[in-house]
């Protein structure tokens, strides 16, 4: 069964008019390019059996047109306030969990962000799921959203890893491990 999948892919280098034509001719007629601050994004609305298949075909078409897919937009990195919104708690309640003053401890460490820490939603979600005694409280629509976000996050990490491992090294074996 085909479903419509919407996502955004970053590409490099920024295409000129001829490059935009090549992208269209490569099959990206379902993508709306946006150039902002010397960065190009393709906003894609693609019918495919799975989100993963849609992303893979877009990346293949980007590369056929002579460009590199450098990342996929995902909503995995979140602040304490965003975590609170997603789990129905205040920012302060989540902060107390994060510093170990409440809850069972073991809250996931920040994934980055410096003075305003950012957390991986996938890790935090799994932590809440393991801690929460009412595991079935999450509505099915939220579960589907989370699965799609996990796919987008994984695709983003894999594309960024490819950039770091160009040319390929022994580390590329980790993808298939």
Q: What are the average pLDDT values for consecutive 10-residue runs of the chain, which has 177 residues?
A: 95 96 98 94 97 97 97 93 92 95 94 86 89 55 72 94 84 77
Does any domain span residue 168? no
Question: Is residue 78 within 8 Å of 112, Cβ to Cβ?
Answer: no
Show the domain range for 159: 3-73+142-163
Q: Do you find a cis peptide bond into 13, omega within 30 degrees of 0?
A: yes
My answer on whether 63 and 88 are in the same domain is no
My answer on whether 30 and 56 are in the same domain is yes
- The CATH code of the domain that includes 48 is 3.30.70
Place of tokens 């695709």: 155
How high is the pLDDT of residue 131?
Answer: 82
How high is the pLDDT of residue 175?
Answer: 76
How high is the pLDDT of residue 73?
Answer: 95
CA gap 19, 42 in Å, rounded: 13
My answer on whether 61 and 86 are in the same domain is no
Does any domain span residue 125? yes
Q: Which residues pair with 77 in a beta bridge?
A: 120
| End residue of a domain, out of 93, 112, 132 | 132
How high is the pLDDT of residue 34?
Answer: 96
Specify the number of domains making up the chain: 2
Buried b (16+ CB within 10 A) or exposed e, 90-116: eeebbbbbbeeeeeeeebbebbeeeee
How high is the pLDDT of residue 21?
Answer: 97
Query: Read out DSSP for 14-64?
Result: ---HHHHHHHHHTT-TTEEEEEETTEEEEEEEEEESSHHHHHHHHHHHHHH
């Amino acid at each position: 069964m085909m479903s419509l999948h919407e996502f955004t892919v970053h590409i490099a280098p920024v295409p000129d008019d001829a490059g935009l034509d090549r992208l269209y001719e490569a099959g990206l007629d379902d993508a709306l390019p946006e150039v902002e601050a010397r960065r190009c994004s393709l906003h894609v609305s693609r019918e495919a059996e799975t989100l993963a298949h849609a992303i893979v075909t877009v990346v293949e078409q980007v590369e056929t047109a002579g460009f590199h897919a450098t990342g996929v937009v995902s909503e995995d990195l979140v602040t304490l306030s965003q975590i609170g919104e997603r789990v129905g708690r205040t920012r302060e309640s989540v902060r107390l969990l994060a510093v170990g003053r409440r809850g069972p401890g073991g809250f996931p460490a920040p994934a980055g962000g410096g003075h305003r820490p950012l957390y991986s939603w996938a890790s935090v979600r799994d932590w809440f799921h393991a801690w929460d005694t009412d595991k079935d409280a999450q509505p099915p629509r939220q579960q589907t959203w989370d699965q799609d976000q996990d796919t987008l996050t994984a695709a983003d990490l894999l594309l960024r890893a490819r950039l770091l491992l160009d040319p390929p090294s022994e580390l590329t074996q980790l993808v298939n491990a």
